[in-house]
Amino acid sequence: MKGQLKSIVVKGIKFFVILFLIDIILGSAARFVFFTQKSGKFYRMSHAFRQADGDVFIFGSSRSSHHYHPGILDKTLAINSYNLGSQGQQILYQSTVQKILLQNRRPKLLILDISPDWLYKSQDAYDNLSELRPFWFRFPDIIGPVLSLQSKLQKIWLFSRSYQYNSTIVHILYYRIKPQGDLKGYVPLLHIMNSEDYRVQRGVDSIKFMSEQDREFDPAFETAFSDFLKTAVSKKIAVLMVCSPDIRFKMEGHNPSLQKIMEIGKSYGIPLLDFTDDPYFAAHRELFNDTRHLNDLGAKIFSRRLCDRLRPYL
Amino acid sequence: MEEQAIMTGLEKVFGEVFHDSVIQLKPDTIVSDVEGWDSFSHIRLVLAVERSFKIRFTTQEIQSWANVGDLCKTILTKTR
Amino acid sequence: MFFNSIQYILFLPAVVILFYLTPLRFRWLLLLAASYYFYMCWKPEFIVVIVVSTLINYSSALLMSGTSVQKRKKLIMISTLVINLGLLVIFKYLGFIAEMFQTIFQSDHPSRISPALLLIAPIGISYYTLQSLSYIIDVYYGRRDAEKHPGIFALYVAFFPLILSGPIERSTHLLPQLREKERQKLHSVNIEEGIKLIIFGYFLKLVIADRTSIYVDAVFGNLPRHGGITFMAAIVLYSFQIYTDFAGYSAIAIGSARLMGFDVYQNFNRPYFSSSIREFWTRWHMSLSSWLRDYLFNPLAFSFMRIFRKERYLKIISPEFLTYAFAAFITFFICGIWHGARLTFMIWGSLHGIYLIIERAIDRKTGKRLLNIFITYIMVLFTWIFFRSDNVHDAFLIIRTIFTHPGKLYIPFDSDVVAPVYAVLGIVILLLIEIKREFFDLKFSLTKNRNEYVRMITYGLLIFLILYLGVFDASQFMYFKF
């Protein structure tokens, strides 16, 4: 028994040392590969967090990244803008990115592209925060608390350098082989929605819409949203909320989450530009990639129309 | 019938069922020792043993076998 | 508490350490307490079902061994079986039966039994019921004596690594181990082998099963939108999802038991390398298939043997074949129902029954092994369509679409383009490991290398594969449902 115990303890220690060494070696390699990317979503994030400079930053989900064309905004309005939209990310992510950004930059205007259901409870909103993990070691004070929202044990996991790069390797390889053009955060969609797409997606959307009627709010999301506005107001940076075109719903619809968002926005005196009832987009389904996203042509038209309404705020 | 005679008889039956004339049976031989001894050949085996020794087993007897020795014992009591 | 939860990663080492600190004669108490705690973490009230079923089975086995009157013995056995199966039916199938009656009689009254009943079946009931049934039948046939110690018997029924999804143990195999002194001594080999199995189990679950499910669920959640090629891809991925999910679970279960010196049945043995359906069922969910063979197929076969006594049927069919065909079909039909009260499962089971009968009739023995493996895999793949579909209509829609409307391969939107790539990457790694083990096993081995550093680095790298490629958000093992 004694002999066995000793051998188990010795083996255990050896195994942990080996794990530790592998973690250092592979983790450092992963970190190097990660931060030398030249294209793709993670590249856009790391570029925006560290270098990207600008007068105007656009925050939002995939709808933001596919709708706002900084090239057009810059040319038309003679500004320097960057699109920070990131797929599947909701308000927790936006407020975290805002904190990182405002550490050492003073833009003139922040555009927040609103998704109407941002305040509803959502597991995805928490799960998708994992994309911030690779940046944790650079901004531990900002990202650490957000990751702890996922689970309190994240802190323990983050000891492993390798864990910080979980689920990134295929992304990295994919965009090395097939680089995306850099359009200052804008990612074009090239499909043109046909009537079959519309019919099928419409059905899915309406089911989803029905089930959203009585969803609960997540107080953490409300706080994050208020934080976002409060931070900007206190630093005297203008904020503009925008609802970009959406074929699924009209804004005046009875969406308690959206109403709450508007209410909070109003209390900070934040103006809101609404494109959901823009008849132009409602009449042109061919400008959409699917019911939630404009395609490239749609995005360009939207960006131009946005410019006209953006001028007063600059 | 003697136990040895039963074993020899069983070897013959096994040889026919499994197409293997050199099967060597021991009392502790079990299913996994004989190649091809699966559910189907088990049915064939039971029927062949019954025909060869001119006996009939009850379900209780068939279910209680764990190895060839058990089978042999059942035959022994039946042929006495 | 599920195996892939943080709680289990803390619970298991705690139990193992306490286990070795506890004197042998109290270990059953520790493990029983741990097992009941483990089970009650899910829904505490269902522990009652386990306790009741344990008490009934414990006492009826004692009653059986106390009597020498064959008729009485049989009566006790049959009534115990009825009670066990009754509990299973009440909890698992009542909703389905009620629904069926409603459809048959076109009743306008709303059903008294809510369909929600289908969902609240006590987790693991299908598994521990089979484990108890085998014990009762074994005692009846005299293959083992009745267990006198109620605590050790209760532990056999509720042993925490096995209670949720097996492997389905036997009283002739696991029960004696629970009091074996030599086996339960601390031994570094057991610790190492246990940890190895657990690491491999997590690899299967987190890297492959949870990745593939993302794609599979996306496709099955929105059938009308997809074409045949997408369905084929989804079914292939599903075949790996269900395999790795369940084999991963089993590996963690076996590994957990091994840490305490217990030897539990193997449940999967690279099933997709089988050359025939018959072989598939000796390598897939082995503890269930051997259970079905011993306690269902064999008794059925011996009964049919007495019925089919003619020399030949229809001039060519032998009575042995007829016996086999009937017994096999019924066995696999019931195997289907065991998985759940759904028509799709019945079709899945029946298909396997029919496959076996056809295989037996053709008796294909020759042919290239690789070709046979491929054919067998395709046949199994076809049955998974029914297994995964929510209803028969969906299953036929998928089959029809595959043949009539190939469409384009669905690749998830935007940056998720890479999600299926992770799944494929994991599957490739698994196949490399399995091909090595299946065809070149005697050659050089990393996992069983004589040098301990090689073994450690191998498993260390496996852990890092999990860290880099695994899915770390909460999800469940799927085989609990059955």
Least confident span in A53-57, A119-123, C92-96, C241-245: C92-96
| Domain residue spans of chain C | 6-177, 188-270+407-476
pLDDT per residue as tens digits for the range C34-46: 999 999 988 888 8
The CA distances from residue A43 to A36, A158, A182, in Å, are 8, 21, 10
**Amino acid code (one letter) for A28:** S
pLDDT of A57 strictly over 70: yes
Task: Give residue C39's pLDDT.
Answer: 93
C142 touches chain B (CB under 8 A): yes
pLDDT, tens digit (0-9, with 9 covering 90-100), for A161-184: 999 998 888 888 888 888 888 889
Task: Give the mean pLDDT of C328-347.
Answer: 93
Cα C47 to Cα A52, C122, C123, C147, distances in angstroms = 59, 9, 10, 21
**What's the pLDDT band for C116 if we cut at 50, 70, 90?**
very low
What sign results for the dihedral spanned by CA atoms A6, A7, A8, A13? Answer: positive
User: Residues of C numbered 274-333 whose beta carbons fall under 8 angstroms of chain B's beta carbons: which are they?
Assistant: 278, 293, 297-299, 301-303, 305, 319-320, 323-324, 327-328
Put simply, the answer to whether B39 touches C305 (Cβ < 8 Å) is no
pLDDT in tens, C256-281: 999 999 999 999 999 999 999 999 99
Distance CA A273, CA A302 (A): 12
At A112 the pLDDT is 95
Q: Is the pLDDT of residue C112 over 50?
A: no
| Percent of chain C residues topping a pLDDT of 70 | 90
Co-location of A112 and A230 in the same domain? yes
- In chain B the first and final C-alpha atoms are separated, in Å, by 7
Q: Which of A144-153, C69-78, C232-241, C328-337 has the lowest mean pLDDT?
A: A144-153
Residues A30 and A50 in one domain: no
Same domain, A252 and A120: yes
Query: A257 and A123: one domain?
Result: yes
Write down the pLDDT at residue C410. 83
pLDDT confidence of residue C146: 94
Structure token pair of residue C280: 């598939």
pLDDT of res. A255: 78
Q: Identify the closest residue of chain C to A31 by CA–CA distance.
A: C468
> Are A24 and A146 part of one and the same domain?
no
pLDDT of B66 strictly over 60: yes
DSSP C285: S
**Closest Cα partner for C166 from C44, C254, C72, C64?**
C254
Domain encompassing residue A10: 1-36
* pLDDT at A231 exceeding the cut of 80: yes
Tokens of C171: 């009283």
In this prediction, residues A119-126 reach a mean pLDDT of 86
Q: Residue A214 has what pLDDT?
A: 66
Given a cut of 60, whether residue A151 has pLDDT beyond it is yes
Could you tell me the domains of chain B?
Answer: 3-79 (1.10.1200.10)
Q: Residue A254: its pLDDT value, please?
A: 64
Note whether A62 contacts C: Cβ–Cβ < 8 A. Answer: yes
Least Cα separation, residue B7 to chain C (angstroms): 22
- Judged by average pLDDT, the poorest of A266-275, C53-62, C218-227, C424-433 is C218-227
The tally of domains found in chain A comes to 2
Give yes or no: residues A91 and A7 share one domain.
Answer: no
pLDDT of A52 above 80: no
Predicted ipTM?
0.86
Least confident among A30-39, C90-99, C191-200: C90-99
Mean pLDDT of chain A: 88
Chains near B (3 or more Cβ pairs under 8 Å): C
Q: Same domain, yes or no, for A11 and A140?
A: no
Lookup result for tokens 């995939």: A62
Same domain assignment for residues A153 and A207: yes
**Beta strands of C415-482 (E only): which ranges?**
none
Q: Could you give the CA distance from residue B16 to residue A50 in angstroms, rounded to a whole number?
A: 81
**Residue C221 confidence class, pLDDT cut points 50, 70, 90:** confident
Q: Closest-CA residue in chain A for C211?
A: A167
State whether C320 and B44 contact (CB < 8 Å).
yes
pLDDT-based confidence at residue B1 (cuts at 50, 70, 90)? low
Report the range of poorest mean pLDDT among C63-77, C137-151, C214-228.
C214-228
Question: φ, ψ for residue A243 (rounded to 5)?
Answer: -105, 105
Say what the pLDDT of residue C114 is.
45
**Residue C365 — pLDDT band, cuts 50, 70, 90?**
low
Cβ distance C379 to C277 under 8 Å?
yes
Radius of gyration of chain B (CA): 11
Distances (CA, A) of A197 to A285, A292, C301: 11, 12, 55
What average pLDDT does range C387-406 have in this prediction?
Answer: 93
CB contact under 8 A, A169 and C468: yes
Q: What is the mean pLDDT of residues A72-88?
A: 91
Residues of C in contact with A22 (CB under 8 A): 457, 460-461, 464
Question: What is the CB neighbour count within 10 angstroms for residue C90?
Answer: 14
Q: Note whether A45 contacts C: Cβ–Cβ < 8 A.
A: no
Model pLDDT, residue A139: 93
Closest CA to A213 of A178, A256, A252, A152: A256
Q: For residue C49, what are its two tokens?
A: 């079902």
- Give the model's pLDDT for residue A41: 84
Q: State the average pLDDT for chain C.
A: 88
Structure confidence at residue A68 as a pLDDT band (50, 70, 90): very high
* Residues A22, A125 within the same domain: no
Confidence of residue C113 (pLDDT cuts 50, 70, 90): very low
Of the candidates A1, A30, A87, which has its C-beta nearest C414's C-beta?
Answer: A87
pLDDT at A265: 93
Task: Determine the Cα–Cα distance for residues A53 and C453; give it in Å rounded to an integer.
Answer: 50
- CB-closest option in B46, B62, B66 to C143: B66
Q: Which residue of B has its CA nearest to C292?
A: B39
Residues A19 and A134 in one domain: no
Please report the number of interchain residue pairs, chain A to chain C, with beta-carbon separation below 8 angstroms.
80
The owner of tokens 């007068």 is: A55
Determine which of B19, B37, B39 to mutate to test the interface with C (most C C-beta atoms within 10 Å). Answer: B39
Chain centroid offset of residue C201 CA: 14
Asked whether A and C share 3 or more beta-carbon pairs under 8 angstroms, the answer is yes
Chain C residues with CB-CB distance to A170 below 8 A: 418, 421-422, 425
What pLDDT was estimated at residue C111?
43
Q: Which residue of B has its CA nearest to C356?
A: B40
Residue A278: predicted pLDDT: 83
**What are the pLDDT digits (tens) for C147-200?**
999 999 999 999 999 999 889 999 999 999 999 999 999 999 999 999 999 999
On whether the CB atoms of residues A171 and A41 are closer than 8 A, the answer is yes
Q: Which CATH number is A117's domain given?
A: 3.40.50.1110
Tell me which residues of C are annotated as active site. Answer: 339
Tell which A residues from 168 to 227 touch C, by Cβ distance under 8 Å: 169-171, 174, 187, 189, 200, 204
Look at A53-57, A85-89, B16-20, C202-206 and tell me which has the smallest mean pLDDT. Answer: B16-20
CB contact under 8 A, C415 and A171: yes
* pLDDT for res C105: 60
Do A15 and C472 lie within an 8 Å CB cutoff?
no
pLDDT at C117: 43
Position C403 scores a pLDDT of: 94
Q: Do A25 and A95 belong together in one domain?
A: no
- C120-142: pLDDT as tens digits: 568 889 999 999 999 999 999 88
The angle formed by the CA atoms of residues C366, C369 and C370, to the nearest 5 degrees, is: 140
Q: A166 and A82 in one domain?
A: yes
**Looking at residues C322-333, what average pLDDT do you find?**
95
Within 10 angstroms of residue C253's Cβ, the number of other Cβ atoms is 25
User: Are C360 and B40 an interchain contact pair (Cβ–Cβ within 8 Å)?
Assistant: yes
